[in-house]
Structure 1
Amino acid sequence: MPEPDICDALDQVCVIRVHDDRIHLPSYLGVAAALRPMEQSGTWSPPHPDVGGAARAYPSHG
């Protein structure tokens, strides 16, 4: 029988873009880096959940 996968809580780092008073959905770093320069404007930061899984509970505006 296969064993369940085990990974760190943050095995994939993502960032959230805030631009023109709009909060965009999280993006993986590689996806954000591949955007055209005009799509990279704004402020980018990683989510800061207090506990594991809390980032999914943050409201999405957009």
Structure 2
Amino acid sequence: MKSQPTWRKSSRSDDGNCVEVAHTHEPVLVRDSKNTAGPVLRFAPEQWHTFMDGIRLGGFESPTAME
């Protein structure tokens, strides 16, 4: 029997605009917190770490900055 992943939401998330992440052995799972029964994205740990490093280094614009 497989155990269910433990999902967590960022403490910086606002009202409804966030995702949840579950770190498993492999892969890293990502889902919409408003639709927990919906699709789940799967990333290799290396891909997820590269993405998170890009966020930390300011490599992405905020959606409000693009308006």
TM-score in same-fold range (> 0.5): no
Computing the radius of gyration from Cα coordinates, the structure with the larger value is 1
Q: Which has the higher contact order (CA 8 A, sep 6+)?
A: 1
